Structure 1
Amino acid sequence: MTRLYLTWFAGPEDPRYWEYFSVEGLVVSLKSIINMRKHRGFGLINRLLSEGFRKFYGYNGPLIIDSMIQALHVRASSVSDLNQSLILYLQYVLGSDVLVHRDYPLINVEDPELRGKLFMRNLVNAEAALRFGESIGRDVMLVVQGWDLESYTKCAQYYKDLGARYVGVGSLVPHRNDWNFITNIVKSIREALGKGVYIHLFGIGSPSLLRRVSNLVDSVDISTPAIAAGKKEVFILGNDGIVRVKVSSVDGVSMLKLRLEITNDEVERRLIEMILNARSLRDENRAVMLYNAYILNKYKSSLIGGT
């Protein structure tokens, strides 16, 4: 069964899902951890680095700290000057299960010369990351980047030749509405790597899309619960799968109240009550994030599939 990770941001802090229900894993934004200094000061981030993520937050599950410290457009970064060694070291002290190599997204880079240089930099960084991981006894996840089927496949093949055991697939979010493009990319990467390499798909949040690629990857991370909550949408499980309704609409309130009446799930009841009894928009938003994540997590096998 494909493992479902929830994306999680430290600053501003997302709800701590694991305090309400069991989660299969977290992919934590390194950029959000770096940005904690803006919201909570240097003292707290120093303590986090000293204690590690799990002890600091009271979390005991699978954990990946990503390496994405910039926007998808390579020139739109305020912290892009961090070098790979520092990024890998931060992941290490935070307790990431695997170290994620410093990659450069290519999907929105239109200049062919710049694109080629960044592609080669990804390959060079991959080799260096593997050496770093070997020196401290930690596995490294190499992130496949490209701009079309050929470049993604070429990158994956290069990683296979390096002996990669863990591979991530990045920068497909801009193509989230082009299911065929994403499916073909992931399928080609799997064919290039073979069955023995662990593949994680970063940041593709549609359950319908995940159903199409779940047999090709070992794990995925999903930010849909938070994105939907930002749109004031709550997930309601219906006969045909998940229905999104506006949480403040008449239909939304009615459907939540109906779920409250018919469910025997104490966690679901608690989260619905948090939504209905929220005293502020912020409290409501966070409760909706929790509820949406719980519904996706609970009904993953029927919504997403996988083997």
Structure 2
Amino acid sequence: MIRYIARRLGAAVLVVFVVGVIVFCLFEVLDSDAAVVTLTRSGGGDPSPEQLAALRAELGLDRPAVVRFAEWQFAFLHGDLGDSLISGRPVRDVLSGRLVNSVTLAFLTAALLIPLAIALGTVAGARAGSLLDRVVSMSAIAAESVPSFVFGVLLVATVSLSLHLLPAVSLLPTGASAWDRPEILVLPVICLLIGLSPHPVRMVRAQTAEVMASHYIRTARLNGIGGMRLMLRHVAPNAISASIHPLAGSVVGLIGGIAVVETLFSYPGLSQELLRAVAARDFPFVQSTAVLLAAVGVAVYLVADLATLLVSPRARHSVLGGRG
């Protein structure tokens, strides 16, 4: 087990490093840098070569790319995310407020998404072929076929603009917490649930239907086991253990889904700050944020791997060869 975890951790570190390299290379091929954006925004027309050279030297952009990447990586490994090239503030300070809002939205969505997907998928799969199963399956396929931002626009048009039940935008005063105005979270969370829940619901449903049709469950029924005891002790654990990774994929999908939803509802989360940083060619902010988000995604999949090993004897035997 320890050797397996060590291999997985090593692979996770490698993935995060590759993400960092890719983001850095993409920044290097852009047609402008932070110096060009800063001088152009000042309203003085096209900057002169002398102005560009002076500002690039001030921002450290005149050094070789390999040196800049190595310095950023060394600082990142020591907990220093660097300073924003545009505002001059530490990236950690810029991230802190926005990150709390995004984490709040992600946590609330995940707390609803996981039990919802398990409940709907298990109920539908336990009655495979029934009317309930067809309704759940068709609804999941329909929701999965439509981009989440379309549902967001429809929610705003109906719930907010027509019925006036909830705010159309999720604005917050500076320094305020999202929990101070929980009503602004309702539509973004619903939009995320509609976009992310169909796939895990279908996966849990498929695994549950497969378990229900297995010889193991048939034998249990012949021995008089049925009802909730059959579902809770024999069907659900086997079905859910095989659905952990689809659920983890949906949780990781929150990273991209939240970016769309925050933009759609003007929610003051991390995505707005990240978009501004990309437009301003603020390399330290974008690089550090991208690597942190990649680390979160890799960590979720690593936890899913370990959870699968804990709840599934078959997975433990396959991965560990029967060793403890």
Q: TM-score range with shorter-chain normalisation?
A: under 0.3
Q: Quick check: which one's helix share is greater?
A: 2
TM-score for both structures, normalised by structure 1: 0.21
Higher relative contact order (CA 8 A, sep 6+): 2
Structure number with larger C-alpha Rg: 2
Q: Quick check: which one's strand share is greater?
A: 1
TM-score for both structures, normalised by structure 2: 0.20
